[in-house]
Amino acid sequence: MAQASDHYHHACSNLEKGCESQNQPFLEGQDLYHAQQRLAPHWQESNRPTIKKILVACGKGLVLGLALSALLHSWRLFHKHTRARPSLPPKVAFPVPEDPPQLQCVHSQNWTDYFDQPTWSTEPYGAATSFSLPVDADLLYLLSCGTNQLGNLKITQSNKESDVVDVDIRVAYQSEDFLDSATVCLTGGGENEYGVSILTPPHRGHWSHRLSLHFDMELVLPAAKEGSALGIKGLATHLPAYSQGVTDLSETVSFGRILLASADGRITVDSVAAGLGSFKTVNGDISGHFEGEFLKLVTVNGNVDATVTLLNHEGTRPSKLMMRSANGHVASEIALISDANAGGKFDVDATSTNGFVDLAFTESPVGSVLKAVAATTNGEVKVAVPSTFEGSYFGSTLVGKVFVMERDVEDPEGKGRRREIVKNRLGNRVEGTVYWVESDGSHEENESLVKAITTTSSVNLVI
């Protein structure tokens, strides 16, 4: 921990000096070439981007990283003999601008507005300011570094077109001394990446919620041109002690990548659509509607409650959904969609410790391949597959029973085919196959496989 503290002082000290001199970039652009690798828990330390190293040095960032790494490591061991390590989306390179932007900072004396008895808080004082970020940036980010701060972030969209993204910040506080300890900086690197960073001093003595600065942030995306969705190449947050919310954006905004990270705060999403999405927190729930090709929802000491639309493009690698919780449940309704209307490849991994797992696949294309694992310890597992499912299934428990419920469903292709379900039971294990039989008795082979595994409770498979 002493070494982490040294890294913290070094990182934040450099950022504060940059804010004062207005010429020290916070982000090192070349390292952000590897930003997408942050989604891989098994990635080597040498490949971690500088932004990751800075965040790990920031107090709760270290706790978040360690907790998530431990969770992911334990489940990799759990699946060692049941699931191959998933491949990752390709890396994305960022162009390097010729003239990196300068830094701009707000200190205690140059906030835009000051308030007595602010209406949004019970604190006696408040202040507000705002920043603008280019909408066509390769990466937009919001970071917090330091202690004695907490707050909320809301990601919304305006009804007006613009070439900038507005970041509106309000802070409520007990006294002027508290505000003196905070610095808010507009930061940017040399690779078309722009963001806002909130800095407070490192932990000294007893942390007090009552003595904290309370921040409210709103990131306001502009409206898209009529008849199209707004394209945002990348958005990343790392905000320990902040709750984060996303309004209903899936129909009007398309994110190339969106990565939201918190600790001691929940992540709530009305709806979001992204090629790649990562949502992580500790001591908080993750909930909402998520659409994308590669999605990861991970929490510790919290629940995952999600409706998911997992998209797969014809001729591409399998689309992947990962949902994980330690000491919480995972519950999701999942629609599998292919742009070819038939076929498609999908990998789904839903795991928990000390919580139930409940997956309901509401639809999938005819002829698609689904590889799914639903697993937990000390909790019930339930998986319901769609009528189009053809392939193998497996259920196992150490202490409990495995139930297989066979539904009466019609041929999804409308050919009048007969559905055949083969079931083999051995102790607390059940395995079998499902397929549709043609009128001549033949049937197509399918590589789909659904596994439902627990230790001390029951397994329910709805076929």
Q: 89, 276 in Cβ contact below 8 A?
A: yes
- Dump pLDDT digits (tens) for 209-263: 566 899 999 999 999 988 789 999 999 999 999 999 999 999 999 999 999 999 9
Q: How confident is the model at residue 208 (pLDDT cuts 50, 70, 90)?
A: low
Lowest mean pLDDT segment, chosen from 173-187, 189-203, 259-273, 336-350: 189-203
Please tell me the distance from the alpha carbon of residue 463 to that of residue 228, in angstroms, as a whole number. 39
Provide the residue count of the chain. Answer: 463
Give the predicted TM-score (pTM) of the model. 0.81
- CB 388, CB 364: distance < 8 Å: yes
Q: Across residues 192-201, what is the average pLDDT?
A: 92
Structure tokens at 390: 């053809």
- Contacts for 393 with CB less than 8 Å, ≥ 6 apart: 385, 404, 430, 431, 432, 433, 434, 449, 450, 451, 452, 461, 463
Please give the pLDDT value at position 41. 32
Q: Which of 449, 456, 450, 401 is nearest to 429 (CA)?
A: 401
Mean pLDDT of the region 389-403: 96
3-state secondary structure at position 269: strand
User: By C-alpha distance, which of 371, 325, 377 is closest to 349?
Assistant: 371
Helix (H, G, I), strand (E, B) or coil at 235: strand
| 62: region left, alpha or beta (phi > 0 left; psi from -120 to 50 alpha) | alpha
pLDDT of residue 68: 40
137 with 95: CB under 8 angstroms? no
**Tens digit of each residue's pLDDT (9 = 90 or more) over 159-189:** 999 999 999 999 999 988 889 989 999 988 6
Hey, what amino acid is at 452?
A
HSE-CB of 303 using CA atoms within 13 angstroms: 11
Residue 203's pLDDT is 67
* Mean pLDDT calculated for residue range 256-282: 98
From residue 263, alpha-carbon distances to 161, 300, 301, 339 in Å are: 33, 9, 10, 36
Going by C-alpha positions, the residue among 215, 195, 242 that lies closest to residue 127 is 215
Return the DSSP state at 36. Answer: G
Give the model's pLDDT for residue 69: 42
Indicate the pLDDT class of residue 191, thresholds 50, 70 and 90: confident
Residue 42: pLDDT band (50, 70, 90) is: very low
pLDDT in tens, 65-80: 434 444 434 334 333 3
| Rounded mean pLDDT, 396-411 | 93
What is the three-class DSSP state of 10? helix
Residue type at position 119: T
For residues 129-151, average pLDDT? 95
Is residue 196's pLDDT more than 70?
yes
* Whole-number Å distance between alpha carbons of 35 and 81: 30
SS3 content of the chain, % helix, strand, coil (to 5): 15, 50, 35
Residue among 296, 245, 238 nearest 262 (CA): 238
The DSSP result for 363-413, as a single string, is E--BT-EEEEEEEEESS-EEEE--TT--EEEEEE-SSS-EEEEPP----TT
Q: Nearest 5°: phi and psi at 177?
A: -60, -35
Mean pLDDT throughout 332-359?
A: 96
pLDDT of 415 reads 86
Cα–Cα nearest to 295, from 316, 312, 270 = 312
C-alpha to C-alpha distance for 368 and 378, rounded to whole angstroms:
32
Contacts of 229 (CB under 8 A, 6+ apart): 251, 252, 253, 254, 273
Query: From its phi and psi, is residue 36 left (phi > 0), alpha (psi between -120 and 50) or beta?
Result: alpha
pLDDT band at 93 (very low <50, low <70, confident <90, very high): very low
pLDDT of residue 189: 67
Share of the chain above pLDDT 90, in %: 63
Provide the residue type at 153 as one letter: L
Higher model confidence: residue 35 or residue 437? 437
Beta-bridge partners for 448: 391
Looking at per-residue pLDDT, the higher value among 203 and 217 belongs to 217
Name the DSSP class of 39. Answer: G
Q: How confident is the model at residue 103 (pLDDT cuts 50, 70, 90)?
A: low
pLDDT at 97: 29
